[in-house]
Structure 1
């Protein structure tokens, strides 16, 4: 995508009091003329005009390394932030949002794909886009280049995933409560951190040409703080998510205000299978990695031979995601251990339209850790009267945590999600979530009378 430099002057500015800054992000570099007393909110609004994403989702920083952990405060002015004429700001926002530039790029790629085709035959190779005159040797070389050879990817882009102990326990306890009679899924909210490339214990000369090597990729480690269970219907063999845009959007917004994004998903199965992911699960994992980022991780929970619930983490390969994006993958209704392809591919130098699912899956190391967010308030969308969310439950949980500071008492994602029905996501939650992020009890106590009032603790 070509970078843009767009100047947006503000009417009535005196040039002597103008601070000209640039803001750089994945959509390009934008240039703005601002006043010294303009706030970072103003910068976000100007970026929003260019990208089309909501301004409250935009984070700004002078240092790109601090974008996620310590962005500039939206209420501070240009002067307070030490921003001078000519400075380069950096911005980012929830990667699940599509900007104007993303939409334009998708339309361009779609148009090229329609013209070029899938490369199955001479008419669909887009030859006239590549060269005017062709020889048979050149054409055969091109066909060789576009042939898809299935290669195993030894390591995923996600090197490790650390899962909050309380969230993992709450998920598995509910599975036991249901006696594993229905599959269950949840989205994981958290953060990504840069990670070192995995260390390959095999010597270089032992690697085969059938191994899919990731070149020049930034490896990441996922940290999962929260498990959000969307509305769903589960059976012993499968689960189906029921769309509920209102609460799903609120959960995404709340997570964003708490400095989190979707980093993975988790689901259960009965443990009777001999393969890590079935065809439908591979398709869904590829869809999520395409939508939420290459380090998005898949976690399964199942009873092992001793009857203990076991957690395993995976990713599908980058090649799998690429084939999914091109519409080349299909589920085999008769064999859950293989994937069908819509055109021939090469597996171990043989042409076929079936791929062993193990060739598309990478193992990811999984770790335990403890988040600052608590789990104790009933979890939404669970089909049980014991998990109903109401003010009585709010009162009970707050009283059970009476010996904690107020900021700790409300550091509960599921409680906060319940409170989005009563407090404003636009005006109340940004300062409340900021206080929770910084564990600022004084800031959180500004909301104590209001929340206690709703809970009947006056």
Structure 2
């Protein structure tokens, strides 16, 4: 039978004559066929092994640690994928290739550039960590869990600050108009609305720091990739649009826990510098076919991965893992979120102000989503940053602005 071995070098085939072998015998076959010494091998059926960065992280993957375990007892059979992490370098077996790679044909400059384009992993992110305001993160995941049941994709842009040490803090999420289905997400960019968002962020002393999206239950059930080829393209596009080197991409998904229940997981990444460069330079095939493997990104020209020429690259090569923490941010997150199924009106504003009438007025409007509603009736260049600036400083709201806001609510 044939099984597939997936490592940092991509996907390779392993021929097994007897399916009833132990893990120790499997390692011997990997050494003989793939040139990885048995003492350097670490195996798992969990793809997250390939994202582990230290020996301590790798040691937590114990499902294939017993050398006497039969591989059939782990459900490994013909066509199965086993994940391999190893230290050091190796010579990858394969057919002898003409030195030019073009059977003697004269190489063009494009050919030469393509032959020199080696896809390697980026070991360290540019940001030290990403920290979420707890209420903001909970509000986002609660909506996609309770209202969308993780059946369609949802996304948004994250706003906050970046410290001198490279720590990204996310304090609110703006969700643009969008259309999502089981495996794709399209933002319908409303640039007038985005101007208001940027004006609010400016007054709050914040900026756009990343992109957040959900994976659907259909995607996570496949368990064959971390990010799909479509998600890699979208994340690379947004990161490439930003001038922020600490830009973060966050993926939210639902996973089955050990008790059979479901837990929501947040995972954070940066697209590697090489990934963003390749996207900007047009190396990626951006039209995804129905039969394309979602765990592989297609290239318009040959690239070198693990010593082999290919036009298909494992998506994990482009991901740089970022640590996630949480904090209590300066804003509340109780006002309804824009561009969801609920229509937000001045009646919504009135109800919110009535519920919070015992608080100082600045506290009552210290919510990004409420400020966005107000901004639609204010001057984007002066009033919006000024009002957001009062929220940022937690200063007394000028009487004029307070009267305007209360009169808006009174029209409900």
Q: TM-score, normalised by structure 1?
A: 0.61
Cα distance between partner residues in 1 of 2:235 and 2:114: 27
Q: Equivalences for 1:49-64 in 2 at 5 Å?
A: none
Cα distance between partner residues in 1 of 2:191 and 2:367: 22
Cα distance between partner residues in 2 of 1:277 and 1:336: 8
Contiguous gaps of at least 5 residues in structure 2: 1-104
Q: What whole-Å deviation, never above 9, does each CA across 1:126-160 have from its counterpart, x for those lacking one?
A: xxxxxxxxxxxxxxxx9589701111112211221
Q: Equivalences for 1:37-436 in 2 at 5 Å?
A: 123-124=108-109, 143=112, 147-175=116-144, 176-195=146-165, 220-269=166-215, 270=217, 271-274=220-223, 275-292=225-242, 293-306=244-257, 307-330=262-285, 333=289, 334-383=292-341, 387-436=342-391
Q: Is the 8 A contact 1:299 1:313 kept in 2?
A: yes
Are residues 1:455 and 2:406 paired?
no
The 1:412/1:146 distance shift into structure 2, 3 A limit, reads same
Cα distance between partner residues in 2 of 1:395 and 1:145: 61
Cα distance between partner residues in 1 of 2:238 and 2:337: 23
Q: Is the 8 A contact 1:374 1:412 kept in 2?
A: yes
- Give the equivalent residue in structure 2 for 1:214: none
Superposed displacement of residue 194, structure 1: 2.2
Cα distance between partner residues in 2 of 1:350 and 1:453: 68
Superposed displacement of residue 368, structure 1: 1.0
Cα distance between partner residues in 1 of 2:233 and 2:205: 28
Superposed displacement of residue 178, structure 1: 2.1
Q: TM-score, normalised by structure 2?
A: 0.67
- Partner of 2:128: helix, strand, or coil? strand
Cα distance between partner residues in 1 of 2:339 and 2:114: 49
Cα distance between partner residues in 1 of 2:125 and 2:354: 44
Higher-RCO chain (CA-CA 8 Å, sequence separation at least 6): 2
Q: Is the 8 A contact 1:436 1:444 kept in 2?
A: no
The CA RMSD over aligned residues, in Å, is: 2.3
- Partner of 1:186: helix, strand, or coil? strand
Superposed displacement of residue 122, structure 1: 5.0
Cα distance between partner residues in 1 of 2:350 and 2:309: 64
- Partner of 2:348: helix, strand, or coil? helix
Cα distance between partner residues in 1 of 2:127 and 2:222: 25
Contiguous gaps of at least 5 residues in structure 1: 1-119, 126-141, 196-219
* Equivalent pairs, count: 295
Cα distance between partner residues in 2 of 1:121 and 1:146: 13
Superposed displacement of residue 239, structure 1: 2.0
